[in-house]
Structure 1
């Protein structure tokens, strides 16, 4: 049966972001079960889930309560759209999210995932400005190397040229500014506040250069994922908020990863003390037990859509799905009952300290992140911060590190969309024993990797 499953996986399952030829003569890694912070493959081998699936399974695997909630809701109402109609679970979840969100973000537009939430936010920003007398405002500012999703609009906002090239031309009007990678800061690298001002001011510079009457929104993650977990410098988001307000530009906090406890707060913007005009979220809302996403919108931005004959002509068949909405509510119950956010806040320093032990290795240049969301940047030379060549990334990061970590029992992400990094974002239930186990696996593999340079 195992061989048949492997063959079927290669013959019929087109895996996402995957070089399919790599499995022509080798088995596809097949995960069959999860329990807590661990996953198990078809042969019964156990692995640390060091990425919570894909920054998703925040409450951990094997939550029977969430499966039972889905079963019960599917028996009662398996599906009904929220196109001019409502159903109880979508209403309850929208109200709950509005209560949890900061400021006046009281309107919830449901999607099926994160990319669709980002797509929604850009479309909504453009129409908002048209309805309020600024029809020329359509452009978006986002950051270099940032990933915001795969739909054409979200991909345009994404700052990864290699991901966009096969699909160009994309949606016009998406412009990029520097990110907050202080490890490779062009200036003020030894002064985080000065670097934060410099990085934020690049956003204002771009708005002015493009023309404030043409810029609709700025899209930023609280902690940038692609490139390896860039946290914001002190004061960065306060200054960005001021810049957006000065130029009548909407601030969208893309929290597809950072919401629902990843940073120890329900929404990532709370961790850094800013209130955006919109929040895009998905992944951890249900801990992955059923797909859902959302765009949370402030009352101010929603107001013109609630007037007269106006509407937002946009939607998704499965947005606000009854089963997903019910599961999300049950997942939020678990968060509150078990204090998962506080667990992250109580343990994030220990997680950082444990991973930071790896900086004694010559291949580890930087360990950075926030909450339960960390990146380990790999270098050839710590003194010069020299990074890998393309050949070295292919041979060492993908050809050795990624495979060897998995072989040794750690599922995580090895990535070179910016500079080469290994990312860890375990379920929020993880504790010191898992941190130590992961550090030991990383230490062995990265030590060996350095000998291959």
Structure 2
């Protein structure tokens, strides 16, 4: 939006009422709107012309920062050359190029890629693949899916069924049948103020054995977890927990799905959580950082054996998987993703995040002892500040912090009474200092 256009926009309810905003208190927002009109590198610019430091990478997605010329030029060139190409029975070169590059980023035989348009679509794609895979292998009774309490896997019916955030589930009916949940991995008493992975809690993975005993492995298709649960407030996997899940899944022939929509593309200081933790799942979902948030796009990696099972179960001239999206491997999204991968590689952003992580950790844990702070937790370039809730007013204290930070030029994200932080990977130490200077000041003012 140009400065002239921004100045002519009247942020009144009359202008704003038509848009039903997602995951937003619409009435509160429209009474006093917060509008961005431009962004560059680490900052947004508001409609009033104020600079706001982005401590959330947009929405966990702008890992390469904002307004990156390489990406915008690639998108502009692509849209002028090939604006759209159908993905059903047709293709375009960039889709195959991107898939090859993404496959090369994953360990082992996670070497086939299916394109989606969001994390929600990636999750529903992965769940469908898991069930259909077992059917292709002659094990059609394996239909049950296992998620985790406090898990977030997007907003499709599959994703909210395996997800475990109450507010995302409670008003949408019975959801999918045949879904169970593991307990979440957070325990404030045992884990408070952990630096990195907490030492307590690996035994929680053993709950999967209880679920297997209840239903029998022959009825279970897959377990899906976020390696680090992000949207629920940054819940870290205890030491050895993910390794245990992998072992139990192997023992019972259950597929393990990692939802890496947040942890993918450098957020932990490695390419993906599967590299960071040294645990290889059977399916990986992603989105967000794939294009650094510039164009909606997601993807799903599967192991070679899963892909081969589909190829082997259908006649050569038949469709092997009746699933896909109009915009799968959209040419413009592919161009954005390829340019984004170039930036990650050329600027060594994953390693940069790894090198910044200790500084980030020290800055975050410097808030210990601040009024109302009951926990601090971190991993890679992710952090969380958990606040003591106001009795009878859950979420109010954190949302007050959100509003005050915004007024002071800092964008944070809140979930419940937890402040979640995940800055772009281009952040400098001075940006980290500014983030925690503002936060420290704001936290001291909260009731």
TM-score, normalization by structure 1: 0.92
User: 1-side partners of 2:355 and 2:187: how far apart?
Assistant: 25
* 2:415 alignment partner in structure 1: 415
Q: Does 1:322 align with 2:335?
A: no
1:109 pairs, out of 106, 114, 121, with: 114
| 1:22 aligned to which of 28, 36, 43 | 28
Instruction: Select the residue among 122, 128, 152 that pairs with 1:123.
Output: 128
Would the aligned equivalents of 1:52 and 1:58 in 2 still touch at CA under 8 Å?
yes
Residue by residue over 1:1-59, the C-alpha shift from the partner in whole angstroms, topping out at 9 and shown as x without a partner, is 55534445522222111121113432x21101111111110111011111111001100
Moved more, 43-52 or 358-367: 358-367
- What is the Cα deviation at residue 185 of structure 1? 4.8
Q: Does 1:358 align with 2:367?
A: yes
Question: Following TM superposition, by how much is the alpha carbon of 1:421 offset from its aligned partner in structure 2, in angstroms?
Answer: 0.7
Tell me the alpha carbon deviations over residues 186-206 of structure 1, each in whole angstroms, 9 at most, x when there is no partner: 9xx99x787343111112222
User: What is the DSSP-based 3-state SS (H/G/I as helix, E as strand, rest coil) of the residue aligned with 1:423?
Assistant: strand
Match for residue 50 of structure 1? 55
Distance 1:184 1:109 in 2: 41
Alignment of 1:438-449 (within 5 A): 438-449=435-446
User: 1:230-267: CA deviations, max 9, x gaps?
Assistant: 22122111111110011111000100011001111111
Partner Cα distance (2:438, 2:164) in 1: 32
1:223 aligned onto 2:228: yes
Report 1:178-189 matches (<5 A): 178-185=183-190
Cα distance, 1:401 vs structure 2 = 1.5
Partner residue in 2 for 1:11: 17
Q: CA deviation at 1:393?
A: 2.4
Structural mapping, 1:369-380, within 5 Å: 369-379=378-388
Change (3 A) 1:430 1:9: farther
In the alignment, which residue of structure 1 is the partner of 2:288? 283
Does the 8 Å CA contact 1:10/1:23 hold for their aligned counterparts?
Answer: no
Structure 1 distance, partners of 2:412, 2:198, is 31
Match among 34, 59, 64 for residue 64 of structure 2: 59
Q: Which residue of 2 aligns with 1:397?
A: 398
Match of 2:348 in 1: 339
Structure 2, gaps ≥5 residues long? 1-6
Q: Give the Å deviation of 1:397.
A: 2.4
Tell whether the 8 Å contact from 1:105 to 1:277 is kept in structure 2 after alignment.
Answer: yes
CA 1:24–1:232 in 2, change beyond 3 Å: closer, same or farther? Answer: closer
Q: Deviations over 1:383-404 (max 9, x none)?
A: xxxx544x33243222x22211
Tell me the alpha carbon deviations over residues 353-376 of structure 1, each in whole angstroms, 9 at most, x when there is no partner.
Answer: 101110121311221121111111
- Structure 1 residue 257 corresponds to structure 2 residue 266: no
User: How many angstroms apart in 2 are the aligned matches of 1:22 and 1:364?
Assistant: 26
Structure 2 counterpart SS, 1:166: coil
Q: Deviations over 1:416-450 (max 9, x none)?
A: 1xxx210100100112111111111111111111x
Closer, same or farther: CA 58–394 of 1 in aligned 2, 3 Å = closer
Residue 36 in structure 1 maps to residue 41 in structure 2: yes
Whether the aligned pair in 1 keeps the contact of 2:256 and 2:281 (CA below 8 Å) is: yes
SS at match of 2:393: helix
In 2, distance between residues paired with 1:287 and 1:24? Answer: 28
Say if 2:202 is the partner of 1:197.
yes
* Aligned twin of 2:4: none
TM-score normalised per structure 2: 0.93
SS in 2 for 1:376: strand
Separation in 1, partners of 2:134, 2:36: 46
Distance in 2 (alpha carbons) for counterparts of 1:394 and 1:375? 15
| Runs of 5+ unmatched residues, structure 1 | 380-386
Q: Identify the residue that residue 242 of structure 2 maps to in structure 1.
A: 237
- Cα separation, 1, equivalents of 2:152 and 2:211: 19
